[in-house]
Amino acid sequence: MTTTALDLTADVVIVGGGPAGTWAALTAATAGADVLLLDKGYCGTSGPTASGGTGVWYVQPEPAAREKAMASREALGGYLQDRRWMARVLDQTYENMDRLGAEARYPFPVVDGRAFKGGLQGPEYMRRMRSWIRRAGVRILDHSPVTELLVDAAGTVAGVHGHRRQHHTGYRVRAGAVVLATGGCAFLSKALGCDVATGDGALYAAEAGAAMSGMEFSNAYGIAPTFTSVTKTAYYGFATFFQQDGTPLAGAGSQGGRSVIAAELLRAGTVLCQIDQATPEQQAQMRSGQPNFFLTFDRLGINPFTDKFPVTLLLEGTVRGTGGIQLVDDDCATSVPGLYAAGDAATRELICGGFTGGGSHNSAWAMSSGTWAGGGAARFATALGASALRRRLTGAGGVALRPTGGASYGGDPGAEAKDVLRRQVHPYDKNYLRHGDRLRPALDELDEVWARLRAGATAEPAATPRLRQAAAMVAHARWMYTAALARTESRGMARRQDFPGLDPAQRRRLTVGGLDEIWVRPESAARPELAVAS
């Protein structure tokens, strides 16, 4: 970074303006912190929640209901969840959803005389979150991607650098603490609202010294009509799937049968679908429940209930997977002082284990972890006092900012990285139908492109965010595949064709980290909460 046109200060910087970021901003501002929220896109529309909408893991505070909610997915998640975290997420989500109705006047539907809080319509939710945090005094910079974290001499995170793409200027923020709420990584697959989720926060966290957890659970693919973006898999629970010639595709399903769809897409290139199991009443409920599900169909002239239409699977990576930045405390602190993580940027293993956090769990996690991270960051910043603004800052970013030298880059490094990701991460037979014999060469190629990026890639200031984004995706993929190779069993959604069974000895989380050299190891501290209630 050469010149810095805009020089700002804040107690707390929030990176990312989706649900986790806005709840973090709200909590920090309410605690009295001066908060600046930076969104790569626009706070209120960017991220999968705004365009997709979401179910919410909202459970009444009755012991039996809570017990059932926690127990229901433990086996699916490979028993890697943490009951204490699940319980506190349920508590916090319940409180936040009630505040959303009371304080942000979210128009919840009324069912049997009661507000129905099992889901949120994306555009309405995120529009209200934006207004709410502005009323709370949060400053927002839209279209302002962060390019790196700033650290002080002790390695404490103390601010960010970034670029305002619609103002063609760089910026620096000096801050007491930073919350990364940048989302997961869907590798520019064009899945609904996911193209802003490129794993940037994970890269920045790793550069400051943080580790990742749950990265092997990164192989989520959503169902969408072919050549479209609307990945709303839940309603395909009412569907029947067919081969190209119209014969039923035995074993295919939206849950528990998606690998059959992937295999058929690899084999024949076509899978047809018809949502023929919904009653007329259910069909009407679908339309009011999720109008965006029908955008594609209405515009293409398809009646999904009576027509057979082709479907595809779009990579949702760690957006619907559960991997992300490892947390070390209840306030969503990372292992790096001054740095907090929330939402999809953080690991969701604590409440999802190894099974998709898609939909309800991720949304509950986003609002809960955002609330905690915002509070934790505000407390950290307050404790620093005035000394926070006197620290000498250094950029923590490496790849695409500070080349290590050796070979200067020929071609277009960003385009090359994206091409490698298209070939080695998107395909079903690499990331989804996993086998060590295919994962290893894929990882080799990702390592190779990383080494080239690290040595020689640089860009003009305006192009830097994109190049950093490409590097973040490559780093993300390398952590995913390294963890996937280390888990020599099939647990949760991390399945290996060469290790189809569950290995009881591997019932532990994996931590992965590093940039030029990647390491992976079982999570060290034994956690009593990991024990499964009978």
Site for other proteins in 13-42 (CB under 8 A): 40-42
Q: In this chain, which of 102, 266, 300, 532 binds other proteins, going by CB under 8 A?
A: 300
Residue 464 or 482 with smaller CB distance to other proteins: 464
| Residue 245: count of CB within 10 angstroms of its CB | 8
Q: In angstroms, what is the minimal distance from the CB of 191 to other proteins?
A: 8
| Residue 451: count of CB within 10 angstroms of its CB | 14
Residue 248 or 441 with smaller CB distance to other proteins: 248
Residue 241 or 355 with smaller CB distance to other proteins: 241
Q: In this chain, which of 5, 65, 75, 111 binds other proteins, going by CB under 8 A?
A: 111
CA geometry: angle at 250 spanning 248 and 253, to 5°?
A: 95
Contact between 362 and other proteins per CB under 8 A: no
Residue 104 or 485 with smaller CB distance to other proteins: 104
Q: In angstroms, what is the minimal distance from the CB of 242 to other proteins?
A: 8
Residue 227 or 519 with smaller CB distance to other proteins: 227
Touching other proteins, residues 159-178 (CB under 8 A): 165-166
Q: In angstroms, what is the minimal distance from the CB of 240 to other proteins?
A: 5
- In a 10 Å sphere around its CB, with 0-12 CB exposed, 13-18 middle and 19+ buried, how is residue 250 labelled? exposed
Number of chain positions touching other proteins (CB under 8 A): 75
Helix (H, G, I), strand (E, B) or coil at 447: helix
Site string for other proteins, 494-523 (x = CB under 8 A): ------------------------------
Q: How far apart are CA 464 and CA 412, in angstroms?
A: 13
Question: In 323-335, which positions are buried (b, 16+ CB within 10 angstroms) versus exposed (e)?
Answer: bbbbbeeebbbbb
* β-pair type (54-55, 119-120): antiparallel
Q: In this chain, which of 50, 56, 69, 345 binds other proteins, going by CB under 8 A?
A: 50
Residue 133 or 175 with smaller CB distance to other proteins: 133
Question: In 81-118, which positions are buried (b, 16+ CB within 10 angstroms) versus exposed (e)?
Answer: bbbebbbbbbebbbebbebbeeebebebeeeeeeeebe
Q: In angstroms, what is the minimal distance from the CB of 18 to other proteins?
A: 10
CA geometry: angle at 121 spanning 166 and 283, to 5°?
A: 130
Q: In angstroms, what is the minimal distance from the CB of 68 to other proteins?
A: 15
Touching other proteins, residues 198-237 (CB under 8 A): 225, 227-230, 234-237
Q: What residues pair up with 310 in beta bridges, in sequence order?
A: 272
Residue 291 or 406 with smaller CB distance to other proteins: 291
- Phi and psi for 533 in degrees, rounded to 5? -65, 145
Helices (H), 290-435: 293-300, 317-320, 349-352, 360-384, 413-424
Q: In angstroms, what is the minimal distance from the CB of 460 to other proteins?
A: 16
Contact between 80 and other proteins per CB under 8 A: no
Q: What residues pair up with 220 in beta bridges, in sequence order?
A: 317
Q: In this chain, which of 23, 217, 238, 372 binds other proteins, going by CB under 8 A?
A: 238
Q: What residues pair up with 110 in beta bridges, in sequence order?
A: 115
| Residue 486: count of CB within 10 angstroms of its CB | 17
Q: In angstroms, what is the minimal distance from the CB of 255 to other proteins?
A: 4
Q: In this chain, which of 23, 94, 108, 450 binds other proteins, going by CB under 8 A?
A: 108
Residue 110 or 526 with smaller CB distance to other proteins: 110
- Phi and psi for 13 in degrees, rounded to 5? -105, 130
Q: How far apart are CA 374 and CA 138, in angstroms?
A: 12
Residue 213 or 259 with smaller CB distance to other proteins: 259
Q: In angstroms, what is the minimal distance from the CB of 525 to other proteins?
A: 36
Contact between 242 and other proteins per CB under 8 A: yes
DSSP 429: I
Touching other proteins, residues 244-283 (CB under 8 A): 247-257, 277-278, 281-282
Q: In this chain, which of 11, 19, 28, 46 binds other proteins, going by CB under 8 A?
A: 46
Q: What is the dihedral of CA 392, 397, 400, 402, to 10 degrees?
A: 50
495 alpha-carbon distance from chain centroid: 20
